[in-house]
Structure 1
Amino acid sequence: MDFDLSADQREIQALTREFAAAEIEPHAAEWDREHRFPRELFGKLAELGLMGACVAEEYGGAGADFLSYILVLEELSRADAGVGVTVAVHTSAVTLPILRFGTDEQKSRFVPPLARGEALGAFALTEPEAGSDAGSLRTAATANGDGWTISGAKQWITNGRYAGTFLIFARTDRDTPGAKGVSAFILDAEHVKVTRDEEKLGLNSSITNDIVVEGAEVGPERMLHGEGKGFEVAMATLDGGRIGIAAQALGIAQAAYEAARAYSLERKQFGKRIAEFQAIQWKLADMATEIDAARLLVYRAAWLKQQGRPHTEEGAKAKLFASEMARRQTAEAIQIFGGYGYTKEFPVERYYRDAKITEIYEGTSEIQRLVIARS
């Protein structure tokens, strides 16, 4: 059993960390305050190959393995979780499903622009009445002779306003209730109308939208993986996507730990640094231990996916533990900072706000427990 990263993995990790330190960390607080989506940043990430890190070179990607991609998400999220989730959804939830389930024509047409960062991807499954119960979605695709006419509304769509490619799920068989009547389609921005920018607790440098599709007419070549197989695409996508969200949570927690540790070595009370008090030492020890445990779960799930082995249960465990750990340990970071931690003078309050969503999207903690129990 080898726990060392390969030379290539260490290289892409270092590349991402260096980029994040120079291009993301100095601006993260400003983006958060202004609720600004840093569009210009993703062109720079694309130049480094990080918008398609684990996509084969023949399709415009960097050709790295899946664990390398997870390292990228961890490092980006350590600097700004909003940037991390933008790349995670773009890659895990759009590019990789097209690569896995698409025809040769679909892969050659849609994947290179995504992998090169020329288009941003959005994943449109959730609806106002279909959250965790995704199989109850109402968006409809009706056969029109030459293809499909699609109409419906979607909610909580990351990247929606700036996306050029949408992976959207619609009911093609109204007589079949639940998941079996759902199909997946690849749509362009021209097929979609953004109706709202969501105001969120955190992740303010990412964009989250409500969207509608109003009678979009598409050809049969826009259907992904065949009629009635959309739910299979969605669930397989979430299996891998959850590992990415676990990596995001891991990066947030790592940033909070590093900030809390540095502060404890500087802040003095009762004549000595607070890092010398056992109460603070125990908090930091627990933080470091739980972060390491989460990292092992995340990397194991990523390795299994890379090997083509079953990873549904392992991905759910990684997301469940890493997300709940991030919420706990960002709170502990605030506690170490005391009153300063509750202000925007320091970044730990942002880490706390950003961490919470990792327990909710791409499957709530409750859903992860169901997945694990049923496995």
Structure 2
Amino acid sequence: EKEAIDAGTTWWEGDLFQGKPDWKKLHNYPQPRLTAEEQAFLDGPVEEACRMANDFQITHELADLPPELWAYLKEHRFFAMIIKKEYGGLEFSAYAQSRVLQKLSGVSGILAITVGVPNSLGPGELLQHYGTDEQKDHYLPRLARGQEIPCFALTSPEAGSDAGAIPDTGIVCMGEWQGQQVLGMRLTWNKRYITLAPIATVLGLAFKLSDPEKLLGGAEDLGITCALIPTTTPGVEIGRRHFPLNVPFQNGPTRGKDVFVPIDYIIGGPKMAGQGWRMLVECLSVGRGITLPSNSTGGVKSVALATGAYAHIRRQFKISIGKMEGIEEPLARIAGNAYVMDAAASLITYGIMLGEKPAVLSA
């Protein structure tokens, strides 16, 4: 609990929650700007991805993105906006990521979710902050190329996304791995609502780790730990899908029982055993502060555009219905909410660009 309280930083919202908002300080923050490279990505690959996305086909015919769109997203490194260039990623700013997701969300919510999740809290983010050099060198270039599809499994049927209550377990023990006896973990988990899990090639897994024989030389109860598990590992179950809100993005359960993996599969290696809670709370605010507001804002902008246009061309009693008071008022609310949401999304992304980790704002 103390780690959760101490995680993140307090920014301008601290003034707001104290009841003393400094509006001058807020207005003095400069408007975030895109670099030439980021603008070119928006004008080129993002526009093309939007053109390729037929939302009716995605939602009613395929229940998935078409294969050519998947290939295009991988080729142009849409899943690597947060990955550093040294590993083959785009290394875009938080503001650029937000603009990309808003654009995609206005065309297809499934497309935006599919791109947003790998660029949020998950293997890529955690590896860059906590991974060993060997883990970074192996996984990050593969994630950047789309050769690996990541997911992060936290949510469980009993605990939801409350990491402190997850029942999933790992036990430090010796076991056989590729014909040799090695120090490892025997994992058992049951997760659900995990985006990209049905097609993932690498599974980020949160579980509670114990070391009853003290093979790591420390405490018996090590606590929440995060590991990367290739989904080809014997005993890993993926492939089934949920259908949340009748929106067919790739989301589903994953399970494993007594799955043995080497201890080096812990993100950051054995020294990071039991540090999973800190990893999650330190990184969650950044990903959550970009992906969720951006996808929502893109959706409401699209709604504002479509509703306003329809209210102009739909006529009744020889006038556009958009000129009727009963229609003007909700149209004004929609437009106003779109501006407010865009401003809020821009504010939080600017804070992230300044190095803040706005846990309260993102929540």
TM-score where L is the length of structure 1: 0.77
* Secondary structure of 1:281's aligned partner: helix
* Secondary structure of 2:205's aligned partner: strand
* Alignment partner, residue 196 of structure 1: 240
* Alignment partner, residue 274 of structure 1: 321
1:209 maps to 2:209: no
* Secondary structure of 1:172's aligned partner: strand
Displacement after TM superposition at 1:195 (Å): 6.4
Match of 1:98 among 107, 127, 139: 127
Displacement after TM superposition at 1:200 (Å): 2.2
Q: Give yes or no for contact 2:34–2:95 (8 Å, CA) kept in 1.
A: no
Displacement after TM superposition at 1:7 (Å): 4.0
* Secondary structure of 2:245's aligned partner: coil
* Alignment partner, residue 288 of structure 1: 335
Displacement after TM superposition at 1:185 (Å): 0.4
Match of 1:234 among 280, 286, 306: 280
CA distance in structure 2 between the partners assigned to 1:11 and 1:315 by the alignment: 28
Q: What are the within-5 Å matches in structure 2 for residues 131-150 of structure 1?
A: 131-145=160-174, 146-150=183-187
CA distance in structure 2 between the partners assigned to 1:13 and 1:187 by the alignment: 33
- Tell me the amino acid that sits aligned with residue 144 of structure 1: C
- Tell me the amino acid that sits aligned with residue 58 of structure 1: E
Displacement after TM superposition at 1:174 (Å): 8.1
* Alignment partner, residue 102 of structure 2: 74
Unaligned runs of 5+ in 2: 1-28, 175-182, 213-220
CA distance in structure 1 between the partners assigned to 2:102 and 2:246 by the alignment: 17
Cα distance change of structure 1 residues 170 and 132 upon mapping to structure 2, 3 Å threshold: closer
* Alignment partner, residue 341 of structure 1: none
Q: Deviations over 1:32-70 (max 9, x none)?
A: 113522262232022223221232111111132222112
* Alignment partner, residue 352 of structure 1: none
CA distance in structure 1 between the partners assigned to 2:243 and 2:335 by the alignment: 32
Displacement after TM superposition at 1:17 (Å): 4.5
* Alignment partner, residue 127 of structure 1: 156
Higher helix share: 1
Q: Deviations over 1:267-321 (max 9, x none)?
A: 11111111222332222222122111111211221222222223112222xxxxx
* Alignment partner, residue 182 of structure 1: 224
Q: Give yes or no for contact 2:34–2:96 (8 Å, CA) kept in 1.
A: no
* Alignment partner, residue 218 of structure 2: none
Q: Give yes or no for contact 1:16–1:75 (8 Å, CA) kept in 2.
A: no
Higher relative contact order (CA 8 A, sep 6+): 2
Identity, % of aligned positions: 23
CA distance in structure 1 between the partners assigned to 2:49 and 2:343 by the alignment: 23
Q: Deviations over 1:226-251 (max 9, x none)?
A: 11111122223321222211111111
Displacement after TM superposition at 1:4 (Å): 5.2
Q: Deviations over 1:82-131 (max 9, x none)?
A: 11112211221221121112111111111111111112111100111011
* Alignment partner, residue 83 of structure 1: 111
Unaligned runs of 5+ in 1: 317-375
Cα distance change of structure 1 residues 57 and 245 upon mapping to structure 2, 3 Å threshold: same
* Alignment partner, residue 263 of structure 1: 310
CA RMSD of aligned residues (A): 2.1
Displacement after TM superposition at 1:189 (Å): 1.3
1:163 maps to 2:193: no
- Tell me the amino acid that sits aligned with residue 340 of structure 2: A
1:152 maps to 2:152: no
1:15 maps to 2:44: yes
* Secondary structure of 1:197's aligned partner: coil
Q: Give yes or no for contact 2:193–2:253 (8 Å, CA) kept in 1.
A: yes
* Alignment partner, residue 300 of structure 1: 347
Q: Give yes or no for contact 1:16–1:72 (8 Å, CA) kept in 2.
A: no
Cα distance change of structure 1 residues 217 and 4 upon mapping to structure 2, 3 Å threshold: closer
* Secondary structure of 2:299's aligned partner: helix
Match of 1:32 among 44, 48, 59: 59
Cα distance change of structure 1 residues 180 and 257 upon mapping to structure 2, 3 Å threshold: farther
Q: Give yes or no for contact 1:93–1:122 (8 Å, CA) kept in 2.
A: no
CA distance in structure 2 between the partners assigned to 1:232 and 1:240 by the alignment: 14
Match of 2:77 among 41, 45, 49: 49
Displacement after TM superposition at 1:199 (Å): 2.1
Cα distance change of structure 1 residues 202 and 212 upon mapping to structure 2, 3 Å threshold: same
* Secondary structure of 1:5's aligned partner: coil
Q: Give yes or no for contact 1:164–1:189 (8 Å, CA) kept in 2.
A: yes
Cα distance change of structure 1 residues 268 and 13 upon mapping to structure 2, 3 Å threshold: same
CA distance in structure 2 between the partners assigned to 1:180 and 1:284 by the alignment: 54
* Alignment partner, residue 222 of structure 1: 265
Cα distance change of structure 1 residues 17 and 229 upon mapping to structure 2, 3 Å threshold: same
Q: Give yes or no for contact 1:46–1:116 (8 Å, CA) kept in 2.
A: yes
